[in-house]
Amino acid sequence: MWNAKDVYYVSDSTALLTEDMARSMLCQFPEISFNEEKIPFVRTVNDAKKVLKDILKQSGALRPLIFCTIMDAEVREVFDVAEVELLDLYGGFLNTLEMALEAKALREPGYFRHGDNSQIDRRVEAIHYSMEHDDGKKTGGYDQADIILIGVSRSGKTPVSVYLATHMGIKAANFPLTADHLSNYELPSDIVRNRIHTVGLTTSPQYLHRIREKRYSGSRYASVATCSNELRQAEQLCLQHSIKTLNTEGKSIEEIAVQATQLVGITKSRHSG
């Protein structure tokens, strides 16, 4: 069994879908460490040859995995070499679907993504919003948020916010609960006013301790006692303001994002694309 494997997500479009599809399978192998790289907009044979050359130079001896969503068969075939393990995420499925539907697929790169400009515009707007409202910045703009994530330091607020924006087109703000907020059991009025759209991220003291220890080993900040006290105060603060909480322990960012949106009533149909 491999302990680690280089993985490349190669696409003739943004490679976001390629990455999502591949990761949904790779997560079934938690004992293996994956070194990932996303390579978008590979649309010509020359593009493909250059990319393959770089991949072989970097990972050739390790027989890397290439997850591919390239429509053009000639471009895709460049990667079908013995030195790599090619996983064609489109080709085989489209051939089967064409036979089942008795129709020819468009096989146009990125058609889904550029077929609806409103979805792209919404996603870009969400990304800009989430960047501008990360880590407690610009709380005055929380009225425009689809969701607000609050929690103690290192509870996963920022990565979940980024995922919500980039993958789901959701305007996500996040706010850190510092010692002042926790000890005084007070929240900014901008959050209280929007508490129906707010989710408190929580976890166990032991799990938070392990996360903090990785960067601040042996510190008071990372101690189990500090983690336990902060989490208890944060949960009481959420209870005081009727804010729903979500335990994130052992969950992937994708799981947390989906469950958080469910808690505040954001439907997939409202924010898909």
66 and 131 inside one domain: no
So what's the pLDDT on residue 30?
86
| Per-residue tokens: 142 | 């929380």
pLDDT at 273: 42
Beta strands in the chain (DSSP E): 4-11, 33-39, 65-69, 85-88, 147-151, 172-176, 198-202, 244-247
Q: Are residues 60 and 179 in the same domain?
A: no
- Cα separation of 46 and 44, whole Å? 5
250 and 129 in a single domain? The answer is: yes
Domain identity same for 88 and 159 = no
185: region left, alpha or beta (phi > 0 left; psi from -120 to 50 alpha): left
On whether residue 271 sits in a domain, the answer given is no
55 in the same domain as 125: no
Q: What is the DSSP string of 100-142?
A: HHTS-----TTHHHHS-HHHHHHHHHHHHHHHHTGGG--GGGG
Same domain as 103, residue 126 = no
Q: Do 156 and 250 reside in the same domain of the chain?
A: yes
How far from 115 is each of 13, 109, 110, 121, CA to CA, in Å?
A: 13, 11, 8, 12
Are 30 and 124 within one domain? no
Q: Note down pLDDT in tens along the chain; length 273 residues.
A: 889 999 999 998 878 778 888 888 888 898 899 999 999 999 999 999 999 999 999 997 889 999 998 988 899 999 999 999 999 887 667 777 778 778 887 776 655 554 455 666 788 889 889 989 999 999 999 999 999 999 999 999 999 998 999 888 999 999 999 999 999 999 999 999 999 999 999 999 999 999 999 889 999 999 999 999 999 999 999 999 999 999 999 898 889 999 999 999 986 544 544
What pLDDT, on a 0 to 100 scale, did the predictor assign at position 117? Answer: 56
Q: What is the DSSP code (8-state) at residue 87? A: E
| The domain boundary residue, chosen from 91, 114, 137 | 114
What local confidence, expressed as pLDDT, does residue 110 receive? 57
Q: Which of 83, 98, 114 is the last residue of a domain?
A: 114
CA distance 84 to 52: 9
CATH number at residue 94: 3.40.50
Query: Which residue, 114, 139, 155, sits at the end of a domain?
Result: 114
Containing structural domain, residue 27: 4-114
**Does 268 fall in a domain?**
no
150 and 100 fall within a common domain: no
Q: How many domains, the chain?
A: 2
Q: Is residue 273 part of a domain?
A: no
Position 17 scores a pLDDT of: 78
C-alpha to C-alpha distance for 108 and 163, rounded to whole angstroms: 27
Residue in the block written with tokens 């999502």: 20
The pTM of this model reads 0.61
